[in-house]
Chains A and B, each alone.
Chain A
Amino acid sequence: MDDIGKKFIVGIFEDEDILLKAITTLRDKGINIYEVYSPFPVHGIENKLGYKRSRLSIAAFCFGFLGTCLALTMMIGMMTFDWPMIIGGKDFLPFPVFIPVTFEMTVLLSAFGMVGTFFVVSDLKPWGKPKTFDLRSTNDKHVMAIEVDSNSIDSKKIKSIIKSSGASEVNDKTMDL
Chain B
Amino acid sequence: MHVESKLRKPLITGGKTLNDVSDDICKRVEEKPSVSWYVAMIISNIILIVGAYAVYRTLWDGIGMWGLNKTVMWAWDITNFVWWVGIGHAGTLISAILLLFRQRWRMSINRSAEAMTIFAVICAAMFPLLHMGRLWIGLVWVLPFPNTYGSLWVNFASPLLWDVFAISTYFSVSLVFWYIGLIPDFATIRDRAKLAGRKVSAFIYGTLSFGWDGAAKTWSRYETVSLVLAGLATPLVLSVHTIVSMDFATSVIPGWHTTIFPPYFVAGAIFSGFAMVLTLLIITRKVYKLEDYITIKHLELMNIVIIVTGSIVGIAYLTELFMAWYSGVEYEQYAFYNRVTGPYWWAYWSMMTCNVISPQLFWFKKIRTNIAATFIISIIVNIGMWFERFVIIVTSLHRDYLPSSWAMFYPTIYDVGMYLFSFGFFFTAYLAFSKYFPVINMAEVKSILKQTGEKVKKAK
Contact = CB atoms under 8 A, between A and B. Distances in A.
B235 A107 contact: yes
* Residue among B194, B216, B232, B443 having the largest count of chain A Cβ atoms under 10 Å: B216
A138 B17 contact: no
A111 B210 contact: no
Contacts of B162: 100-101, 104
B407 interface: no
A41 B447 contact: yes
B221 to A, nearest CB: 5
Report, nearest first, the 10 A-B pairs whose CB atoms are least far apart: A128-B211, A140-B18, A130-B213, A40-B447, A100-B162, A124-B210, A78-B153, A46-B220, A54-B224, A40-B446
Interface string B225-236: 100110011011
B224 A42 contact: no
Nearest to A134: B191
B212 A45 contact: no
A160 B442 CA distance: 33
A176 interface: no
Contacts of A87: 155, 157
Contact of A121 (B152, B213, B221, B239): B221
B402 interface: no
B451 to A, nearest CB: 10
A130 B183 CA distance: 12
B216 A122 contact: no
Contacts of B331: none
Interface in A85-136: 87-88, 90, 94, 97-98, 100-101, 103-105, 107-108, 110-112, 114-115, 118-119, 121-132, 135-136
A56 interface: yes
B211 A129 contact: yes
A101 to B, nearest CB: 5
Contacts of A105: 165, 169
B219 interface: yes
A124 B211 contact: yes
A114 B210 contact: no
Nearest to A87: B157
A124 B184 CA distance: 11
Contact of A138 (B156, B188, B221, B444): B188
Interface of A: 15-17, 35-43, 45-46, 49, 51, 53-54, 56-57, 60, 64, 74-75, 78-79, 82-83, 87-88, 90, 94, 97-98, 100-101, 103-105, 107-108, 110-112, 114-115, 118-119, 121-132, 135-140
5 contacts: A51-B217, A64-B232, A118-B225, A122-B222, A140-B446
A45 B19 contact: no
Contacts of B206: 130
A94 B157 contact: yes
B220 A127 contact: no
Contacts of B138: none
Contacts of A121: 221
Nearest to B444: A40
A131 B213 contact: yes
Contacts of A42: 216, 219, 447
Contacts of B236: 104, 107
Contacts of B184: 39-40, 138
B224 A56 contact: yes
Contact of B450 (A16, A94, A101): A16
Interface string B151-187: 1111111010110011001001100110010011001
B211 A125 contact: yes
B28 interface: no
B222 A41 contact: yes
Interface of B: 1-2, 17-19, 22, 144, 150-157, 159, 161-162, 165-166, 169, 172-173, 176-177, 180, 183-184, 187-188, 190-192, 194-195, 206-225, 228-229, 232-233, 235-236, 239, 243, 246, 442-444, 446-447, 450
Contacts of A45: 216, 219-220
A90 B235 CA distance: 27
Contact of A115 (B165, B195, B225, B243): B225
Nearest to B161: A101
A90 B165 contact: no
A104 B166 contact: yes
A53 B217 CA distance: 10
Contact of A90 (B157, B217, B221, B228): B157
A75 B154 CA distance: 10
Contacts of A53: 224
A119 B210 contact: yes
Contacts of A122: 217-218, 221-222
Contacts of B172: 108, 111-112
Nearest to A145: B215
Contacts of A103: 235, 239
Given A108-B172, A138-B191, A100 B22 contact: no
Nearest to A55: B224
Nearest to B20: A140
A41 B210 contact: no
B165 to A, nearest CB: 4
Contacts of B446: 39-40, 140
Contact of A39 (B218, B229, B443): B443
Nearest to A96: B157
A98 B217 CA distance: 40
B85 to A, nearest CB: 14
B219 A41 contact: yes
Nearest to A140: B18
Given A104-B165, A130-B206, 17 more contacts: A16-B450, A39-B184, A40-B447, A51-B216, A51-B220, A54-B221, A78-B153, A83-B152, A97-B157, A100-B159, A112-B176, A115-B176, A122-B218, A122-B221, A130-B209, A130-B212, A136-B191
